[in-house]
């Protein structure tokens, strides 16, 4: 049996959100080195899979055993929807919509998770969860300044909404899987599925050749780095570590709370945008960030958390 440790769960999600937020800036640098969104996504997922497999081979070989039965079906769903679909739909959304709007659409995921838990699973959700989600979504809209550049792009909006569905599915499927299996095994095989899917869409061997050095852009444009080093940073601290931390966090916190706490990511991304990419950060946006944090605090006590997880 695994004893839940909510404090550990919160710490894991916060660290993951910070890493994902910083990774947004690093990803801009990576895609600035002659990588298309599709090639970048394939390289990121394939590289992460190699790291997961190598780690498991060295330290936890039990994670290399393929899941069977219903566990395999859930892992395939996690890989196709929670990893592949999430990455693709989000990349298309940010390519066709202002970043703030794309992030707002993607981070409607907590609303979807709460709706699923309340009306499909029939689990009780305290009223403050709705206030928490509302504050977080409104705060996120303010942080992203969605009133600037409300250019309607049908495909972009659809992709943004699909990103929200994929993001919610990632947490819901992950919450179920890690309750009965090793988080590393779940994530490893989900990324194997995602790697196969992405290489059918954009093969890794079709990746443009990366040569020379790439600029770190904007405030750091006087510095350059090896593009493969940038990709390695995206893969390990930007993908492998935060994905694994969030999956482990789902052993200690329910998906409804994890998705709300994960909304720190776009707040961090906007701070990075201000500090690194010269993007504005107004007092109004800071107020929006505070609203997100208040929403997270309210979410902490909105759903009963069992002390003991069911045994595998």
Q: Are 134 and 225 in contact (CB under 8 A)?
A: no
Which position has the higher pLDDT, 259 or 223? 223
- In this prediction, residues 117-137 reach a mean pLDDT of 84
Examine the pLDDT at 98 and tell me if it is beyond 70: no
pLDDT at 305: 47
Which position has the higher pLDDT, 238 or 290? 238
pLDDT at 152: 60
Instruction: Decide if 30 is inside a domain.
Output: yes
Write a three-state SS string for 222-285. CCEECHHHHHHHHHHHHHHHHHHHHHHHCCCCCHHHHHHHCCHHHHHHHHHHHHHHCCCCCHHH
Examine the pLDDT at 151 and tell me if it is beyond 70: no
Which position has the higher pLDDT, 3 or 205? 205
Examine the pLDDT at 78 and tell me if it is beyond 90: yes
pLDDT at 262: 87
pLDDT at 150: 58
Examine the pLDDT at 126 and tell me if it is beyond 70: yes
| Residue of 21, 23, 41, 26 lying closest to 218 (CA atoms) | 26
- Residues of the chain with pLDDT > 70, as a percent, come to 93
Q: How far is CA 187 from CA 34, 55, 193, 265, 272, in A?
A: 29, 12, 10, 20, 28
Instruction: Decide if 210 is inside a domain.
Output: yes
209's tokens? 């050749």
Instruction: Decide if 304 is inside a domain.
Output: no
Q: Are 19 and 237 in contact (CB under 8 A)?
A: yes
In the chain, the number of structural domains is: 1
Instruction: Decide if 257 is inside a domain.
Output: yes
pLDDT at 301: 59
- In this prediction, residues 215-219 reach a mean pLDDT of 90
Pick from 94-103, 168-177, 217-226, 239-248: least confident: 94-103
Examine the pLDDT at 202 and tell me if it is beyond 90: yes
Instruction: Decide if 309 is inside a domain.
Output: no
Residue 41, number of CB atoms within 10 A of its CB: 23
pLDDT at 308: 39
293's tokens? 């944090």
Q: Are 189 and 75 in contact (CB under 8 A)?
A: yes
pLDDT at 194: 97
Instruction: Decide if 310 is inside a domain.
Output: no
Instruction: Decide if 278 is inside a domain.
Output: yes
> What is the C-alpha R_g of the chain?
19
- In this prediction, residues 123-148 reach a mean pLDDT of 81
Residues spanned by the domain of 125? 9-299
Instruction: Decide if 3 is inside a domain.
Output: no
Question: Quick check: helix, strand or coil at residue 45?
Answer: helix
């Amino acid at each position: 049996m695994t004893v839940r440790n909510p404090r550990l769960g919160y710490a894991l999600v916060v660290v993951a959100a910070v890493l994902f937020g910083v990774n947004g800036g690093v990803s801009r640098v990576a895609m600035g080195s002659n990588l298309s969104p599709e090639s970048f996504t394939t390289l990121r997922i394939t590289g992460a899979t190699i790291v997961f497999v190598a780690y498991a081979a060295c330290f936890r070989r039990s994670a290399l055993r393929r899941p069977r039965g219903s566990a395999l079906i859930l892992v395939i769903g996690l890989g196709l929807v929670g990893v592949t679909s999430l990455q693709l739909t989000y990349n298309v959304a940010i390519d066709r919509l202002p970043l703030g709007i794309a992030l707002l659409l993607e981070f409607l995921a907590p609303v979807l998770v709460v709706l699923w838990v309340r009306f499909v699973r029939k689990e009780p959700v305290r009223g403050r969860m709705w206030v928490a989600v509302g504050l977080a979504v409104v705060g996120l809209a303010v942080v992203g300044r969605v009133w600037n550049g409300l250019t309607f792009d049908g495909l972009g909006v659809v992709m943004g909404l699909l990103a929200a569905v994929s993001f919610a599915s990632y947490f819901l499927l992950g919450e179920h899987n890690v309750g009965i299996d090793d988080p590393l095994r779940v994530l490893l095989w989900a990324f194997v599925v995602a790697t196969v899917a992405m290489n059918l869409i954009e093969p890794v061997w079709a990746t443009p050749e990366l040569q020379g050095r790439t600029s770190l852009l904007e405030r750091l444009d006087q510095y350059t780095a090896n593009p493969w080093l940038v990709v390695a940073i995206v893969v390990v601290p930007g993908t492998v570590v935060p994905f694994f931390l969030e999956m482990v966090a789902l052993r200690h916190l329910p998906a409804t709370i994890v998705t709300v706490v994960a909304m720190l990511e776009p707040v961090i991304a906007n701070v990075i945008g201000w500090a690194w990419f010269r993007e504005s950060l107004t007092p109004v946006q800071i107020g929006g960030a505070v609203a997100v944090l208040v929403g997270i605090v309210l979410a902490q006590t909105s759903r009963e958390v069992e002390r003991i997880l069911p045994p595998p």
